[in-house]
């Protein structure tokens, strides 16, 4: 009987403890949740961890402007790989990205980068038309092209969005529905299915968590 009373007491106290922790976190401006890091880790001699970082890149956006790692400095961004003539998963992916774009495009530290996997077809002019199709009229959602080998290597070894082997040659082709969430230090903080609206809801929540994480660091 005594054990039973303790059981019910714990059931009553646990919700109260959670509520107390929640309001304490809010008061201290602490993020409620921090996101994990993805990708291989490197461990130094001092047992410090170096998380996987997106390597340097060089692409051209729909405005004919260059895009390198310098332009994404201090920005959180979402990235994917698509092609403008795709009639299967790409229209769904781009429609889901519209939701992300509309919600966060007012932030100066936010960006979406969509890479073509068909650079021979997707010229700068073609990418501009595709951007207009999805209501993009600013530089918060960039559609980029470049050398095929570099695009494919970035997808596979940089963003880890495709596990298939390939050399970016004439017969090589990437077709993935996956998105990656990248933080301000170019670390991968999440993967999402761009054809699944529920998974994109999760992306929207994770973006808020990541913004909160940086705001907390800035206040410390």
Residue 105 located in a structural domain: yes
Q: How far is CA 87 from CA 81, 92, 158, 164, 167, in A?
A: 14, 9, 26, 22, 25
- 53 and 19 part of one domain: no
Residue 37 located in a structural domain: no
Calculate the CA dihedral of residues 136, 139, 143, 147 and round it to 10 degrees: 160
- 25 and 120 part of one domain: no
Residue 36 located in a structural domain: no
Which domain CATH number covers 94? 3.40.30.10
Alpha-carbon span 175 to 194, nearest angstrom: 12
- 159 and 112 part of one domain: yes
- 24 and 59 part of one domain: no
- 121 and 15 part of one domain: no
- 170 and 193 part of one domain: yes
Under-70 pLDDT residues of the chain: 1-32, 43-49, 220
pLDDT at 168: 79
Q: Global pTM?
A: 0.83
pLDDT at 217: 82
Terminal CA-CA length for the chain: 48
- 52 and 99 part of one domain: yes
- 146 and 212 part of one domain: yes
- 9 and 53 part of one domain: no
The CB density around residue 218, as the number of other CB atoms within 10 Å, is: 8
Q: How many domains does the chain have?
A: 2
Q: pLDDT tens digits, residue range 162-192?
A: 878 887 788 888 999 999 999 999 999 999 9
Residue 35 located in a structural domain: no
Alpha-carbon span 8 to 175, nearest angstrom: 53
pLDDT at 2: 47
- 89 and 69 part of one domain: yes
Q: Please count the residues of the chain.
A: 220
Q: pLDDT tens digits, residue range 55-77?
A: 999 999 999 999 999 999 999 99
Q: 1 lies in which domain range?
A: 1-30
- 26 and 55 part of one domain: no
Residue 151 located in a structural domain: yes
Residue 124 located in a structural domain: yes
- 26 and 47 part of one domain: no
Residue 143 located in a structural domain: yes
Identify the helix (H) or strand (E) that includes residue 53. none
């Amino acid at each position: 009987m005594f054990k039973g009373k303790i059981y019910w007491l714990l059931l009553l106290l646990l919700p109260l403890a959670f509520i107390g922790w929640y309001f304490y976190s809010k008061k201290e401006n602490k993020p409620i949740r921090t996101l994990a890091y993805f990708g291989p880790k490197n461990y130094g001699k001092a047992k410090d961890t170096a998380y996987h970082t997106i390597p340097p890149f060089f692409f051209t956006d729909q405005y004919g402007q260059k895009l390198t790692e310098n332009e994404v400095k201090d920005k959180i961004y979402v990235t994917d790989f698509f092609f403008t003539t795709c009639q299967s998963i790409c229209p769904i992916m781009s429609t889901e990205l519209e939701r992300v774009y509309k919600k966060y495009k007012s932030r100066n530290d936010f960006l979406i980068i969509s890479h073509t996997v068909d650079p021979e077809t997707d010229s700068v002019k073609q990418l501009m038309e595709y951007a207009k199709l999805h209501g993009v009229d600013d530089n918060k959602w960039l559609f980029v092209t470049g050398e095929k080998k570099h695009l494919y290597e970035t997808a596979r070894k940089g963003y880890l969005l495709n596990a298939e082997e390939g050399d970016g040659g004439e017969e090589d082709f990437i077709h993935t529905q996956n998105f990656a969430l990248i933080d301000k230090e170019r670390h991968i903080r999440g993967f999402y299915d761009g054809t699944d609206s529920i998974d994109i809801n999760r992306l929207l929540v994770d973006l808020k968590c990541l913004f909160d994480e940086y705001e907390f660091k800035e206040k410390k």
